[in-house]
Structure 1
Amino acid sequence: MSATSNKTALVVSAHSADFVWRAGGAIALHARQGYDVHIVCLSFGERGESAKMWRKGPGMTEEIVKAGRRQEAEAAAEVLGATVEFFDIGDYPMRADTDTLFRLADVFRRVQPEFVLSHSLKDPYNYDHPLATHLAQEARIIAQAEGYKPGEKIVGAPPVYSFEPHQPEQCEWKPDVLLDITEVWDKKYAAIQCMAGQEHLWEYYTRVALQRGVQAKRNIGITSKKDIIYAEGYQSIFPRVTENLG
């Protein structure tokens, strides 16, 4: 993704399907609004999140699984209107070295995001998820530093939002932003259907979107005529700077 005059957004996804379940609506919505949305998948989820593919038989290999997961993620990103790249740093366990950190900082510099989406800061069920967020946070800090690759354009202070984890209560995740994605739900569900390797999650994340939609509609007040059906929840990591509280 090269720099453009459009507004931009960056999504840092631990595995190749996470961005679809958790932020597909936000991606599609902002793409429709003219944003250039770029996704970084740190891994393909080849070990821990591809059980259906591994069960196909003894001839299955890690490279075949990776190729299948890449194809799914690329198809989903195209449906949502975003670009995607893959770092392929492995999963279960995921580990990131200094080179990976600098590589992501370079993505921040290149994209110049207006906002960033990634995982919850805690997740006792999946250590890859908070690692992705901590990596994104540290890369953001490095990309802001004048002393890192002097002469390059630094990034400002894009707000960072944690998208919804699979087990919010155990992850100490509490949404303070509810995003109406009703107008792009068809795009999100089409992207969800690209994830054939995790078909068991299609209905689950439909229910999540409906539940957040009910909560969003309740929070805009009974006088609003806006018909919210589907929504996504986000938790902001930094304070929002605003000129009014309306």
Structure 2
Amino acid sequence: MTFNSSRAKHSGLAALRHVQHPPVFSCSSERVRSYYSRRKCQRKVLHNVLEPFAAECFRQEILDFPLSDRISVRGKNASLRNHAERLIAGDYLNHEGASSDNGDVMRLRLTLWRCKMLDVLAVGAHPDDCEIMMGGTLAILKKQSYKVGICDLSSGEAGTYGSANTRRQELAQASTILQLDARDTLDMPDGHIRNTEENRMKLIRVIRKHRPTIVFSFFNAMPRHPDHYYSGLLTKECVFLAGLEKIETGSPPHRPSNLIHFKELVLNDKPDVVVDISEVWDQKVQAVRAYQSQVVAGNDAEQPPKTFIKSKAFWEVFEARSRMAGAMIGVRYGEPFYCEAPAKILDIPASFSRGSNV
């Protein structure tokens, strides 16, 4: 592949994702230098060419961060490895008219580090949990240019409907609809998720891998499904434990700034925070409908259905929950959340003014 500067400028990472696999990069330092010379702006080179290239290297696991913040380069594609090595060494910043001192290289290293991090990580017990409980919030965050991801503690293999392979395909489709930056599915047993040492280490590794600022998960009070309770309890403990240096996982410690909870489908109390999801409601519904083996579409419901989520009543409660939460803040649709710590309010009138579109 040859980098097209205008294409990289306008489509960023998408320019790399359209490459035929396995990718062959002919992104020479001369082309980057030429692009720089025309633009006379080092920031544009970094943002339009090098950052998308770095993000694609992470996506293909060519770049990684091991125990320290020293960047490692790996993979079988020699051409890609070579460019990745030159990228992190600062070679592509070392050209006439631009400084290649330690400040440039350090900023590029921080850019690479940022490519790996998530702003928000949502943790659910099964595939579809996070889409149902906070799919709208994830979509809103993406519209605001935040990096978001989901961790499913199990693959949902014990569900009444759908095989493990079917669930994986549905999960991938829902992730695409929500435009997630990352998704991890762990191997905790569906129907028997428990707060064990082994499971804590699994989730700690995910938190340290993605280094989220905020984590969302189930409220750790006994709901209808025990897996939801234990996933909330597990997440609460791991958010703290992930910051302890003496717990060895092969990654640096990291403690998220805050943990925010969601509860099960029936809304029976007053939440601490409601997010307006009116503009992305259809996107949330589409993400939930991606789980075709789990939810009913149209008039296809069994009589009687074996699970609540497979009934028409699920969609009625699903929408009623969002309408009720939205009504609390004067909007059409909302998602309710419960906070571990008080929220910091920067714009008081905007935060407390109510809409009128109920």
1:73 maps to 2:171: yes
The equivalent position to 2:340 in structure 1, one of 212, 219, 237, is 237
2: CA distance, partners of 1:193 / 1:205 = 12
Give CA deviations for 1:41-71 in whole Å, capped at 9, x if unaligned.
1113332xx3344xxxxxxxxxxx1111122
3-state SS of the aligned residue for 2:191? Answer: coil
Q: How does 1:1-246 map to 2 (within 5 A)?
A: 3-5=113-115, 8-47=119-158, 50-53=159-162, 65-82=163-180, 83-149=182-248, 152-169=251-268, 174-196=270-292, 197-199=294-296, 200=311, 201-217=314-330, 228-241=331-344
Amino acid at match of 2:228: H
Give CA deviations for 1:80-110 in whole Å, capped at 9, x if unaligned.
1112121121222223542321121121112
Amino acid at match of 1:34: S
Amino acid at match of 2:174: A
Alpha-carbon shift at residue 213 of structure 1 (Å): 1.3
202-211 or 143-152, larger mean C-alpha shift: 143-152
2: CA distance, partners of 1:141 / 1:116 = 11
Q: Is the 8 A contact 2:171 2:291 kept in 1?
A: yes
Give CA deviations for 1:127-178 in whole Å, capped at 9, x if unaligned.
1111101111111111111222399543244211111312444xxx641100
Q: Is the 8 A contact 1:72 1:194 kept in 2?
A: yes
Alpha-carbon shift at residue 245 of structure 1 (Å): 5.9
Q: Is the 8 A contact 1:15 1:45 kept in 2?
A: yes
Amino acid at match of 1:183: E
Closer/same/farther in 2, CA of residues 139 and 207 from structure 1, 3 Å limit: same
Closer/same/farther in 2, CA of residues 150 and 131 from structure 1, 3 Å limit: closer
Closer/same/farther in 2, CA of residues 67 and 26 from structure 1, 3 Å limit: same
Q: Is the 8 A contact 1:22 1:232 kept in 2?
A: yes
33-42 or 98-107, larger mean C-alpha shift: 98-107
2: CA distance, partners of 1:232 / 1:209 = 6
8-17 or 206-215, larger mean C-alpha shift: 206-215
Bigger helix share: 2
1:222 maps to what in 2? none
Q: Is the 8 A contact 1:89 1:96 kept in 2?
A: no
3-state SS of the aligned residue for 1:25? Answer: helix
Paired residues in the alignment total 220
TM-score (norm 2): 0.56
**Structure 1 gap segments, 5+ residues each:** 54-64, 218-227
Q: Is the 8 A contact 2:222 2:229 kept in 1?
A: yes
**Structure 2 gap segments, 5+ residues each:** 1-58, 65-112, 297-310, 350-358
Question: In angstroms, what is the RMSD of aligned CA positions?
Answer: 2.4
Q: Is the 8 A contact 2:132 2:288 kept in 1?
A: yes
Alpha-carbon shift at residue 37 of structure 1 (Å): 0.9
Q: Is the 8 A contact 2:154 2:188 kept in 1?
A: yes
3-state SS of the aligned residue for 1:4? Answer: helix
TM-score (norm 1): 0.79
Closer/same/farther in 2, CA of residues 14 and 245 from structure 1, 3 Å limit: same
Give CA deviations for 1:115-137 in whole Å, capped at 9, x if unaligned.
11100111342111111011111
Amino acid at match of 1:213: G
3-state SS of the aligned residue for 1:162? Answer: strand
Q: Is the 8 A contact 2:118 2:210 kept in 1?
A: no
Q: Is the 8 A contact 1:180 1:232 kept in 2?
A: yes
Q: Is the 8 A contact 1:7 1:34 kept in 2?
A: no
Q: Which has the higher contact order (CA 8 A, sep 6+)?
A: 1
Larger Rg belongs to: 2
Give CA deviations for 1:187-208 in whole Å, capped at 9, x if unaligned.
1111011121122333431221
2:46 maps to what in 1? none
